[in-house]
Structure 1
Amino acid sequence: MLKTHDISLRFGKRLLFEDVTTKFSPGNCYGVIGANGAGKSTLLKVLSGEIEPSSGNISVSPGKRIAVLKQNQYEFDEFEVRETVLMGHKKLFKIMTEKDAIYAKSDFSNEDGMRVSDLEDEFAELNGWEAESEVSTLLSGLGIADELHEKKMDELSGNEKVKVLLAQALFGNPDILLLDEPTNHLDIQSINWLEEFLTKFKNTIIVVSHDRHFLNNVCTHMADIDYGKVTVYTGNYDFWLESSQLALQQAKDANKKTEAKRKDLEAFVARFSANASKSKQATSRKKTLDKLVLEEIKPSSRKLPFIRFTPERPIGNNVLTIKNLSKKVDGEVVLNDITLTINNDDKIAFVGAHDLAKTALFEILMDEVKADSGNYTWGATAIRSYLPKDNAEFFNDDVTLIDWLRQFSKEKDDNFIRGFLGRMLFSGEESLKKANILSGGEKVRIMQSKMMLSGANVLLLDEPTNHLDLEAITSLNNGLIEFKGVIMFASHDHQFLQTIANRIIEITPYGVIDKKMTFDEYLENPVINKLREKMYENIKNPGETLPI
């Protein structure tokens, strides 16, 4: 068990937590939620011992091992993949290293024999004989191919490194597992595997995530950080959200009744206090009035941006035609002879293991890069707007947000621009921030503002939930559900995919799978699953004709 006792944490004058006392019990998965900057990741660092609290203390049951998902992708570059995972269990890895060193000696002494005997006992107690098998299972489950297990970490891509570091944290059945955004950079299949792994995990899990579907599937409790406090609630994210909204509404309703009663009493007192025959009654009412206290409602510090995309004009029947589109990036084929027709009622989720393919397609369709072959034609009524995954090029200028957004607005008046920024949580002094110092989440929100001002009837979005907090993701999700136009988007957010898309297109190395259905229907369709499996297997066994 992991407990906090009156912990507080300050950075200069800024207070993150104050007098936090709570416990995290075995068999439970705690989802840590809170607004951007509330201190979710910092709380995990405090719990792991990486950061010392300003006051209070953390206690862990004796002999319990804490495992943490590492965030530095380059920390283990000099080590092999398999070795990196084994290093997740420090005690076991130390025993293995010492044991191997002794066996490698040319002059094996009696003392060495006694020492290695002790090490073998400890090795067996820690289930060391199953370690290699467990490493392979974890890596394969997360999509790391067998041929990569003996490679050095610096030979892997960034996404592959993230998966290895996740396997490292999961390895060896830790007693307490601390995971900060474990689904980042994972494909849908890897996320599903991780969800299944964590639901079967018997020990304590504390996880920070912006993935609502993931939190709903794995969490038994929510740890909400707000106003410097950490409050633990039973239930998953949706249960917490609905319960908190219900409690707030009940408090508001109670206050309305109290306020109505107060007004009645005030009116009675004002009317009859000067009347001798009614004075006793009025005095009694005055005493009742004095006892009435409005229940204090402390609203959450969270704020939701107002996101609505309004097309300037309806989209016509001819939206987009793509014929035989192909593209190589750094010598690798990412789009191979793609042919598609986009209709005016389409909300398309582009899925698949290769993120670069989706990004390349969007960049071609937005005329930002050229295809190697093939062509595409937009309909005459199509007005496009694009949210790229990498938006850095838009934020090089030293200008205020008002001036930054003004260049994309037909209405140039300051009050209009300020009002629009306020809807997106850049109110007051925030609207005078310089564009080149924005955080990742702020950049995405201001890019969404640009899209809303465009009047587009076709939206292209590449990983639009990246860098956003849960509140901003929820607002964007709702805004896209209500959008009366065509949407083409790539995302790893399951709830986003399920609630928005009515057509799923998976880009594979040997063509596309294109189905008019919801995302859950797509995942659960056995024919599609078999076809997908054969397509990806064909990478290793090229030449087979597949029924795409």
Structure 2
Amino acid sequence: MLTKSGGCCGLPGSVNMAVPSQLVRDKFPDIDEEIFQYVEGVLTSTEDFETSDDVYEAIGGLLADAVGIEKDAEIRKLCEEVMAKLTTPNGTIERKILDAPVQLAEMAASMELEDQVIKSVWSRERDDGLKVDQRKLDKAEAKLKEKKEKRTNTDKKDTQPAIIMDMATASQVVSKKDRALDAKGGCNTKDIRIESFDVAFGDKVLIQNATVSLAFGRRYALVGRNGLGKTTLLRMIASRILRIPNHISILYVEQEVIGDDTIALESVLECDTQRKTLLDREKEIQARISQGDSDDSLASQLSEVYAELQAIEADKAPAKASVILNGLGFNPEMQIRKTSEFSGGWRMRIALARALFSQPDLLLLDEPTNMLDMKAIIWLENYLLGWSTTLLVVSHDRHFLDIVPTDVLHLHSQNIDTYRGNYESFINTKNERQKNQQREYEAQVQFRAHVQEFIDKFRYNAKRASLVQSKIKMLEKLPELKPIEKEVGVTLKFPDVEKLNTPILQLDEVQFEYTKSVTIFSGVNLSVAMDSRICIVGENGTGKTTLLKILLGELEPTSGQRVANRSLRIGYFTQHHVDQLDMRVCSVELLQSKYSGKTIEEYRRQLGSFGVSGDLALQQVASLSGGQKSRVAFSLMCMGNPNFFILDEPTNHLDIETIEALGEAIQKFKGGVVLVSHDERLIRMVCTELWVCGDKKVGCMEGGFDEYREIIEKEIQITL
């Protein structure tokens, strides 16, 4: 027995419920029409809705994809309003129920739809008006797929580190004694010894059964080829996945400071937690005294706070922080600007300033010179020479490595060797050590062959049987030496080009200004030939990248003109080129998506000319190291067969061997090159003209890089 109510679905007496889709239209008026029609179709049928969560489950995800996940709270509120529309004043949900007896057999006999008799009420199809149109659904899903792909490309930089860290693992053998000492705080030494540890990246073992000792107060450089695990090792130490005694403070400069209303100088001062705590305590006591608090101990508490502030020289902290910021390129006006007003590169400098100011027991730096101009690099070199705690730095700046480190940790062949001295000393010692090891190995091979010859000759001679046996035992006791594993040399090969007639590229009396009151430079006269090797230097913010964009033709000069050869094909490598790669695909697929129509062998050959060969070419780009991604970016740039290069900070993330290879490739390249770089080694290798940006001008320095460095060092001495 069923009951019946007013008409619904053709049933006598069912209720005709209003579809609340207008709420969606009012809330999100700009929503795509296909998606709105799909949502409208879903809301037409509400039999399964019990709560607002049911409504959200039905349309919430779709709306979030359409208008953005950041509006999730608004979408949930909308779903509550939709549910309210379906709820009666007494709080119950309207149901399509039958309130009178119905004879189903009679109903089935008399019911017709589109001239066809329905033999059973249960076999009747649902009203087409209540169905979701499949074409609308397909259109809605296509729209959402397109938006998701765009959003994925935008967000891929943010998701990459998570991919890397999910794949990196470490293990270590730690004795019970060390664990007990660490737990009790019985070990007070600041020296660090990480014994018997392994580091892997997915299925690939990066470091195996290695031991590293860091003596307090020494400055260590961690060097090795791209992709061997240097950055991964720093992260394992910073996160204490590898055992570091609890009493040792660690600071790893990896992420930029979050921008907010805090001024740059105050952001640096805040990282001195002891000073900040004492100053907050002072304010609290002063406030209580000014409010007439009669506690007699307040005066003595205030005296103790002042004594502690004096002991840590808190009054000198602002001056120290200001000196550090100034050295890293922040003038007095910039030091009092909010951190939210700075770009990511400048916020990274603030993070570096905070690390230098707080001076932890162990400071970890990963490519600190990447974000700095030449003046800031020279200042940082001088500052770190006076560093009093332990420093572990990954850098590929050859000059920086010759100045700063007292020791070098060489990562190779899944092991870490320690050398005393700077990078130049390390190279000399390593080469000499390898020569000795190779000589020892060759001598042993000859000795083994000589002894084996004797054994083979007299093996069946009864008179010499005892001597043969002693020779066999001697061979078994000899340590087994292995040949030296020489690292494969790095080669970069730029495309061959035909010579073009001059002028190749020329700027005549060029001036550029963003507004009438902000002139970047004026009177620029720059001429480039096929054999030009021009390096542009200058402090950050003096217009180097703007000048490159004018050379590219991406920016129009305010006055003056740019003249270019019609056959000119420019290959542009930007310092952000690596970040713009599609992290989801492999290198071969990346080249294929940009330059379709070639064979897989051609793509692999192109990648191989930049050292991305074998399995590397088939790995997801996200899993590659920074230097390997740079090589992929070079390969992508050269697929267009350019005859002129504009390179903006191309050495970022490259290892020393690859930088050397880049310099050699530029020397062999038959086209013109304009280069912006802070890597002194590369500049000295390739530069024939040095152009300096500064004081709203761009001029040639006749004395070359030596004169430029001398001027900077004098400026730094004046500011110190």
TM-score class, shorter: 0.7 to 0.9
Please say if residues 506 and 513 of structure 1, whose CA atoms lie closer than 8 Å, have aligned partners that are also in contact: yes
Q: Distance in 2 between matches of 1:134 and 1:27?
A: 20
Which residue, 371, 384, 392 being the options, matches 1:198? 384
Deviation of 1:334 after TM superposition, in Å, equals: 3.6
Deviation of 1:406 after TM superposition, in Å, equals: 6.3
SS in 2 for 1:324: strand
Normalising by structure 2, report the TM-score. 0.63
* Deviation string, structure 1 residues 106-144 (Cα, Å, up to 9, x no partner): 335433222221111111111112112212222222221
Instruction: Could you tell me which runs of 5 or more consecutive residues in structure 2 were left unpaired when the two chains were aligned.
Output: 1-189
Deviation of 1:489 after TM superposition, in Å, equals: 0.6
Q: Distance in 2 between matches of 1:73 and 1:409?
A: 35
The change in CA–CA distance for 1:45 and 1:391 in structure 2 (over 3 A counts) is closer
Deviation of 1:529 after TM superposition, in Å, equals: 7.5
Which residue, 635, 658, 661 being the options, matches 1:475? 661
Equivalent runs, 1:101-500 vs 2, <5 Å: 101-105=284-288, 106-107=290-291, 108=293, 109-171=295-357, 174-226=360-412, 229-259=415-445, 295-297=481-483, 299=485, 304-309=489-494, 311-314=496-499, 318-328=503-513, 333-354=519-540, 357-379=543-565, 384-391=570-577, 395-396=581-582, 401-402=587-588, 404-405=590-591, 412=598, 414-433=600-619, 440-451=626-637, 456-500=642-686
Q: Please, which moves more after superposition, 489-498 or 107-116?
A: 107-116
Q: CA RMSD in A?
A: 4.1
Normalising by structure 1, report the TM-score. 0.80
Q: Please, which moves more after superposition, 209-218 or 20-29?
A: 20-29
> RCO greater where, 1 or 2, for CA within 8 Å and sep 6 or more?
1
The change in CA–CA distance for 1:217 and 1:469 in structure 2 (over 3 A counts) is same
Q: Which residue of 2 aligns with 1:87?
A: 270
The total of aligned residue pairs comes to 523
Q: As a proportion of its length, which structure holds more helix?
A: 2
Q: Distance in 1 between matches of 2:683 and 2:377?
A: 14
Please say if residues 257 and 348 of structure 2, whose CA atoms lie closer than 8 Å, have aligned partners that are also in contact: no
- Kindly indicate whether residue 192 of structure 2 is the aligned counterpart of residue 3 of structure 1: yes
Q: Which amino acid aligns with 1:86?
A: L
Q: Which amino acid aligns with 2:256?
A: Q
Equivalent runs, 1:70-81 vs 2, <5 Å: 70-75=253-258, 77-81=260-264
Structure ID, larger Rg: 2
Please say if residues 533 and 674 of structure 2, whose CA atoms lie closer than 8 Å, have aligned partners that are also in contact: yes
Deviation of 1:349 after TM superposition, in Å, equals: 0.9
Deviation of 1:222 after TM superposition, in Å, equals: 1.2
Q: Which amino acid aligns with 1:488?
A: V
The change in CA–CA distance for 1:282 and 1:15 in structure 2 (over 3 A counts) is closer
Please say if residues 256 and 350 of structure 2, whose CA atoms lie closer than 8 Å, have aligned partners that are also in contact: no
* Deviation string, structure 1 residues 123-168 (Cα, Å, up to 9, x no partner): 1111112112212222222221112333321123333322222222
- Kindly indicate whether residue 281 of structure 2 is the aligned counterpart of residue 98 of structure 1: yes
Q: Which amino acid aligns with 2:635?
A: S
The change in CA–CA distance for 1:59 and 1:239 in structure 2 (over 3 A counts) is farther
Q: Distance in 1 between matches of 2:621 and 2:390?
A: 41
- Kindly indicate whether residue 220 of structure 2 is the aligned counterpart of residue 30 of structure 1: yes
Deviation of 1:182 after TM superposition, in Å, equals: 2.4
SS in 1 for 2:575: coil
Q: Please, which moves more after superposition, 228-237 or 436-445?
A: 436-445
Q: As a proportion of its length, which structure holds more strand?
A: 1
SS in 2 for 1:223: strand
The change in CA–CA distance for 1:88 and 1:223 in structure 2 (over 3 A counts) is farther
Instruction: Could you tell me which runs of 5 or more consecutive residues in structure 1 were left unpaired when the two chains were aligned.
Output: 534-548
- Kindly indicate whether residue 241 of structure 2 is the aligned counterpart of residue 58 of structure 1: no
The change in CA–CA distance for 1:26 and 1:158 in structure 2 (over 3 A counts) is same
- Kindly indicate whether residue 708 of structure 2 is the aligned counterpart of residue 522 of structure 1: yes
SS in 1 for 2:355: helix
